[in-house]
Structure 1
Amino acid sequence: MDTSPPTFASKLKKKIKDFGPAFFIIGYVVGTGSVTSMVVSGAKFGLSLSWALLLSCFFTYFLLISISKLTIVTGDTLMFLFKKNFGKPITLFIITALVVSIISSVIGVMGVVAEVSMEWIAVKTSISFLNKPAIAALFTALLIGLFWTGKHENFIKAMSVMVGFMALAFVFTSFMVIKESGKSIVDFFPELPIGDNTGLIIAGIVGTTMAGVCLASRSILVHEEKWGLNDLKKENKDALSAMVMTFLISLAIMISATGTLYFKGTPVDDATDLMAALGPWAGDFALTLFTLGIIGAGLSSIFPNLLLFPWLIADYSNTPRNMKRPLFKGIVVLVALTGLIVPFLGGKPVWILIASQALSPFVMPLITLFLIILLNKSQLMTSHLPKLGMNLALGATFIFNCYMLYVALVGFIDFVH
């Protein structure tokens, strides 16, 4: 029997494994959608909408620990519990809403990735035979090929490293912006203009942080980790780590955009406008760094999106998540192909992506309400019913989600008109 003390590498590997679900959330949330929403928000409104980011991270924490506890105590995943307790029609409605969010996100993300990549190629190279459809087709084929062969883990790790570099670049840029802008902190919080897609951007910020799909997948990940009642403290720490990191990185992106775009009055209408947010720290390298980061964030967030639809089906039917099933393979390919819509047919990927994030608030009040009901069912939770403080927190989360639903509705009406 080996009694030698564990090495630093083995300790680090165990820590990373313990916080697997947290890294999934951070990697999924802090992706192209988050970068786009935070940059557009900072460019248009400074830090005036940072309250939406703070509150969405705060309330998402309570949703994460509640969903995890429900999964651990009952041994069942979220959509299966919804079906068993509230019926098939309403559960299928929730899944349909989540699938619409998944597909619209893939459409928007691939549009942004193709546009940013094309800009880098045009500026940095002399290649003339590539265009946005060709780039999107290449990335889509890569993702489908990686899924089909099952050799995607190292690719996702490489993409995560690229996202990490971009996140660090935004953190450095945010410090530089605050130090060198010559503005007081009050100037970072200007008064909001009337209209100007404010509601849609607020809903996008909340939707990318409190993502319904991400919350549903939390239950699946906790189930796969085989966490038990002894792991509740670990699960709480995991959820807290995920939300704190998500808030800090997202805030850094918003601060960077405020200093580099808002104070200069630079609008963000196209994906290529996002690149200027890294200008002060990275200089001429900003274009390359941002392009690599957006490609990494985009592909590493599209890949889980390809898997989430089959995961939801398996969750609903309480069957193994066997991704080799022909049905699941077909679904993955179809979802991946939707990413070609914007590059081939045109459109504003920035606003398509923000709109896709803003869809999440439409289903969150229902998910939160069902979660509160299930957590307070004594036959389900036995001796693990939530205390008064948790019920109050979830009640406040429900009210916040209802308000965000109203904001999203108004935002979409204003956007259409």
Structure 2
Amino acid sequence: MKMGFRARSVALAEQLGPGLITGAADDDPSGIATYSQAGAQAGYGLLWAMLLTYPLMCAVQLVSAYIGRVTGVGLAANMEKLFPAPIVVALVALLFVANTINIGADLSAMGAAAQMITGRSAHLLTLGFALLSLVLQMFIPYRRYASVLKWLTLVLFAYFAVLLFVHLDARAVALGLVLPRIENAGAITLVVAIFGTTISPYLFFWQTAQEVEEVNCDPAAEPLLNDPSQARRQFRRIWFDTLTGMGISSAVAIAIIISAAATLHTHGVTNIQSAAQAAQALEPVAGQFAFLLFSLGIIGTGLLAIPVLAGSAAYAIGDSRGWKAGLDYKPWEAVGFYTVIGLATLLGIAIDWSPLDPIKALFWSAVINGVVAVPIMIAMMIVVRKHSRMGRFKAPMAVTILGWAATAIMGIAALAMFVV
């Protein structure tokens, strides 16, 4: 009986992959800063937003996974079948800019968090993290690299551990989860930021590309258009993987908001501009161990998110240009693909070392993501219901409805971002 349980646990763990990594990468240092600010400024009042985003982000990421597994090609290649090439190129170029800025902000947060722990130079630590990420992407085969990323998702549990060191108001938490309320214009801005953080274009490209990688790296696998017999098993895996990954992502975000609300908001600290600042502000009110866990979480999630940010940009550009694109290739076999990864990471380092304010850089990254997300999501929703692309494997109606709802909400959020 014990072995049976162990065997089932291993089988379930093996079904986790692209969805789990995508969900974990969603809680990058930039996301941590957003969730910390939400808790610090609004207390428990915006927890409901995370419950609202969960089904929407699940739908969008399921659409991404369906497209990759069914067609066997990336999102940009599918978009080119619907939009004129110049529009796809423009969207991919904006994605690269937004991802590069996000990489710079994440690296900066990682360096600052590591400096608080070690006392070493933040810039040198940032450089070390960037080089480590590049080496992992360039010289470790996809299967082993994907395994490394799966293990890195465990760092997210640091944010659940932080809750053990803070005093929680259980009633306020419950009300915050189920009672939507927006008390001022600042709360509207935070809701828009939460949506922009949890539903981001780089996550669409990454999960689609990872499903393609899963096909390319498994000799027995084929795109479902070529081998429909695999559909039932693969769709079951995709649903389990995606719902689990997005569930963990949302749960971690909720834990961060609760931590910030129970400590920072309670003690009148309401203006948090970065993940590292949140960790620093946490120490005097929640203790050194809570601060350490929070800081290690920033570093760990950054190591997970940076390759996803750089990789998603490389997949998008590679697909749109017809290059060889994939982490299973050696650097000399896919020069263009790895050049984009290297360039995005190096430009991220340059942003960290430049006089550019990382908070302002992150703001413009959010603006670009908000603008780019809507047309990309429209294209995805058209592709996933188009018989010429998906054959008989069009997305289920429930996923389609939620996907279009997410697209509409992101459009409203993009408009609200400019108005507010």
Compared with structure 1, are the counterparts of its residues 117 and 410 closer, same or farther at alpha carbon in structure 2 (3 Å cutoff)? farther
Q: What TM-score do the two structures reach when normalised by structure 2?
A: 0.82
Q: What corresponds to 1:415 in structure 2?
A: none
Letter in 2 for 1:178: D
Deviation, structure 1 residue 340: 2.5
Contact (CA 8 Å) 1:33, 1:354: kept in 2 or not? no
Contact (CA 8 Å) 1:260, 1:279: kept in 2 or not? no
Structure 1 residue 106 corresponds to structure 2 residue 115: no
Deviation, structure 1 residue 391: 4.0
* Pairing partner for 2:84 from 66, 82, 87: 87
Deviation, structure 1 residue 137: 2.2
Compared with structure 1, are the counterparts of its residues 156 and 364 closer, same or farther at alpha carbon in structure 2 (3 Å cutoff)? closer
Q: What corresponds to 2:305 in structure 1?
A: 301
Between stretches 254-263 and 243-252, larger displacement belongs to 243-252
Deviation, structure 1 residue 63: 1.6
Give me the whole-angstrom Cα distance separating, in 1, the residues matched to 2:121 and 2:132: 17
Letter in 1 for 2:235: L
Deviation, structure 1 residue 376: 3.3
Give me the whole-angstrom Cα distance separating, in 2, the residues matched to 1:391 and 1:329: 34
Partner deviation per Cα, 1:76-102 (whole Å, 9 max, x = no partner): 332111112222112112212221221
Between stretches 66-75 and 208-217, larger displacement belongs to 66-75
Describe the SS at the equivalent of 2:39.
Answer: helix
Give me the whole-angstrom Cα distance separating, in 1, the residues matched to 2:355 and 2:310: 22
Deviation, structure 1 residue 192: 4.8
Describe the SS at the equivalent of 2:168.
Answer: helix
1:153-302 equivalence runs, <5 A: 153=145, 156=149, 159-161=152-154, 163-172=155-164, 176-179=167-170, 192=182, 194-196=184-186, 198=187, 200-226=189-215, 228=224, 229-230=231-232, 231-266=234-269, 267-275=271-279, 279=283, 283-302=287-306
Letter in 1 for 2:258: I
Contact (CA 8 Å) 2:39, 2:258: kept in 1 or not? yes
Give me the whole-angstrom Cα distance separating, in 2, the residues matched to 1:40 and 1:77: 34
Q: CA RMSD in A?
A: 3.2
Letter in 2 for 1:110: L
Structure 1 spans left out of the alignment, 5+ residues:
123-129, 412-417
Give me the whole-angstrom Cα distance separating, in 2, the residues matched to 1:396 and 1:158: 33
Partner deviation per Cα, 1:319-345 (whole Å, 9 max, x = no partner): 442351333333322222223335423
Compared with structure 1, are the counterparts of its residues 187 and 141 closer, same or farther at alpha carbon in structure 2 (3 Å cutoff)? closer
Aligned residues between the structures: 395
Describe the SS at the equivalent of 2:287.
Answer: helix
Deviation, structure 1 residue 397: 2.3
Give me the whole-angstrom Cα distance separating, in 2, the residues matched to 1:67 and 1:184: 32
Deviation, structure 1 residue 408: 2.4
Structure 1 residue 140 corresponds to structure 2 residue 119: no
Deviation, structure 1 residue 232: 1.6
Structure 1 residue 56 corresponds to structure 2 residue 53: yes
Contact (CA 8 Å) 2:68, 2:74: kept in 1 or not? yes
Deviation, structure 1 residue 363: 1.8
Partner deviation per Cα, 1:280-334 (whole Å, 9 max, x = no partner): 9962222322222211111221122232222223333274423513333333222
Deviation, structure 1 residue 220: 1.4
Deviation, structure 1 residue 39: 0.4
Q: What corresponds to 1:125 in structure 2?
A: none
Structure 1 residue 406 corresponds to structure 2 residue 396: no
Give me the whole-angstrom Cα distance separating, in 2, the residues matched to 1:156 and 1:281: 32
Give me the whole-angstrom Cα distance separating, in 1, the residues matched to 2:375 and 2:127: 37
Letter in 2 for 1:169: A
Letter in 2 for 1:300: L
Compared with structure 1, are the counterparts of its residues 190 and 219 closer, same or farther at alpha carbon in structure 2 (3 Å cutoff)? closer
Q: What corresponds to 1:42 in structure 2?
A: 39
Give me the whole-angstrom Cα distance separating, in 2, the residues matched to 1:169 and 1:50: 18
Give me the whole-angstrom Cα distance separating, in 1, the residues matched to 2:413 and 2:253: 19
Describe the SS at the equivalent of 2:342.
Answer: helix
Deviation, structure 1 residue 274: 0.6
Deviation, structure 1 residue 386: 4.8
Deviation, structure 1 residue 213: 0.9
Contact (CA 8 Å) 2:39, 2:257: kept in 1 or not? yes
Q: What corresponds to 1:336 in structure 2?
A: 345
Letter in 2 for 1:68: A
Give me the whole-angstrom Cα distance separating, in 2, the residues matched to 1:388 and 1:137: 46
Give me the whole-angstrom Cα distance separating, in 1, the residues matched to 2:290 and 2:174: 25
Describe the SS at the equivalent of 1:177.
Answer: coil
Q: What corresponds to 1:127 in structure 2?
A: none
Q: What corresponds to 2:228 in structure 1?
A: none
Contact (CA 8 Å) 1:37, 1:354: kept in 2 or not? no
